[in-house]
Amino acid sequence: MEFNLEKCKDKGAYSAKPVKTVHLDFTGIRKAFKVLEDTPILLLIEEDGFEIIVHKHGELMFKNPGDMEKMRKVAEKVYKAGLQ
């Protein structure tokens, strides 16, 4: 899936946004990742040292950003789990 990964406006986090509109299935994401918070509109998950806010509309917010390539790989895993 194609997405853009860039710094948020406040530069405190990074955001991955799908190029096309998506609707993520939280059930698949819950099965694949450690869930820290679970609400009807977002999940807070932990993966590979990152805390990630996952929105139903497909945006991922990396709360504690790090290596860009590592974030890109984690985002791909999240999208794969949420789009099955």
CATH number of 3-82: 3.30.310
pLDDT tens string 20-76: 989 999 999 999 999 999 999 999 999 999 999 999 999 999 988 889 999 999 999
Contacts of 25 (CB under 8 A, 6+ apart): 82, 83, 84
Question: What are the boundaries of each domain within the chain?
Answer: 3-82
> Of 52, 45, 42, nearest to 72 (Cα)?
52
The owner of tokens 């990742």 is: 33
Phi, psi of 21 (to 5 degrees): -60, 135
pLDDT of 66: 84
pLDDT tens string 5-33: 999 887 689 999 999 989 999 999 999 99
pLDDT of 84: 76
